[in-house]
Every structure is written in C-alpha cells, then in structure tokens.
Structure 1
Amino acid sequence: MRVLVQRVTSASVTVGGEVVGAIRPQSQGLLALVGVTHDDDAAKAQRLAEKTWQLRILDGEKSASDVNAPILVISQFTLYANTAKGRRPAWNAAAPAAVAEPVVTSFAQALRELGATVATGVFGAHMQVELINDGPVTVLLES
C-alpha cells in the first residue's frame, strides 16, 4: 500500500462537474492519494492511517492529529505504475477494484476513527483534483 501525502491549504475533487469532496482547513490539511496492491488489507490501511494522522509535516512540526487538520482521501491506482520498460506504464502491481476499494474505504474509516475530518473522492470515477500544495510538501508512505 502506498499513500502519497501532500500538505495543502485547500483541496477538492470533482466528478461529472460536481464537487464530491473538499477540505478548506483554517491553515493546513492533507491530501492523501492512496494506491493499493494485491496483498494489502484493512490492517495495512489502519497502520498507514495512523502514520498519516500522526505525520509531523504541518507548520511547527505538528501533525494532523495535533491541530485536527482535515484530510481528503482519493484512490490512486497509478501509484503502482511500472515504468521500467518502454513508454507505456504497466498496471499489474495495482490491485483490482474488488481488492482496492475496501482497502481505500478502510483507510478513510480508520482516519475517522482516529478523530480526523475526512472527505473522499469516488472510487473508480474519472476525477479532477484541485489542490494548493503548501511548501510544497509531499511525502510517500509505504507499508
């Protein structure tokens, strides 16, 4: 499982012209792009949710849990692109939807259970993501 975490001052996701998830934090929040591979499960999602919630990348070396920063969670199978050969990425390391969707849902739910305010995209939809990356700060977490 991979989670690409970006520190943001705002972020939103639109599907079919309608905003389906957005965060507008007082100062900073997190955008979490979540990629799932074949052997990922709810336990890995829980561990990475805890890491995301406690990751000290906000101003003053604070975490989202320290300042109750909101988090926008979006599924992102392309985090498992294999570009080793040729010019066309291979997606065979990305889990199929039947495996990935429950893991992404578990990740978002685990964040909520930790106390986070969480917005989400729509799994499998063509989404437009808009964000203002603050810093910029972008960190890759892997299980």
Structure 2
Amino acid sequence: MAAKKQSATDKWLAGDTTYQQQLANFLKSQKDYDSQYNRQTGITKRDYAETTRSMNRQGAQDRDDQQNDFAGRGILHSGVFAKALGDYNTEFNAKLKNLQTGQTDKLGDLGMQRTNFQRQLKLERDAARQDALRRRAAKLGI
C-alpha cells in the first residue's frame, strides 16, 4: 500500500519552525495534563477504596459491639435489637452511598475538565495552523 503523498501545505508546515515549536509545546501540555489527570483520578479512586475499607471494618465492629451490648442485656432476640440494627444499617448504607456519589462527582468533574482542556488545546492548534498558513500566504504575496 502506497503512503499518502504529502501536500504542499503539509510540507511547508513541516518546515515552519514556529509552527513546529508550537505543536511541540501543545504536545507537552497535553502530556503534562494527562499525567496530572491520571494522578488525580488515581488519588480519587485510592481514597475512595481506603475510606470504603475503613468504613466496612468500622461497620463490622460497630455491629458486633451492638450485638454484644444487646446480648449482655438479654434482649438480643428482641425487636429492639432488630430495629437498632436496621437503623444502623440504613445510616451506614446512606454514608456509603454519599461516599460513592462524591467519588462519581469528582471523577465526572475531572473528566469534564479534561474534555474542556482538550477542546481548548484543539482551538489553539487550529489557530497556530491558521497563523502558519497566513505566514506562508504573506511570504508568497497572496
């Protein structure tokens, strides 16, 4: 399969050092942003996992403590224990849901910021290309 022939414009742009430097700067900006994005995403996921593990450990301990307390008072098999445990579980699950919502929101915000950055970078690349083409046109007297 033959390689696509490079257009005269593409050849000229490849030799435009100003444009090539701008492209290199844009690429560096993209790589830097991607590194930052990946780091922030990783931190968010790690924090969520650590907090969830900690909450689950604490929840198990709290339930055991509650069960031992009710057993010590001789009312473990009562409706009072079942209600207290149900209330605890409802509150615990609400906290887990809030934690999940927070993680989802944070990851969504990071994704939206990344999309906005990429859009802005594309606009800047397009503007740099237009400037390079204007320089060429001026050089050719067009």
TM-score of the two chains, using structure 1 as the length reference: 0.24
TM-score relative to the length of structure 2: 0.24
| Greater fraction helix | 2
Largest Rg, 1 or 2: 2
Which of the pair is proportionally richer in strand? 1
Higher relative contact order (CA 8 A, sep 6+): 2
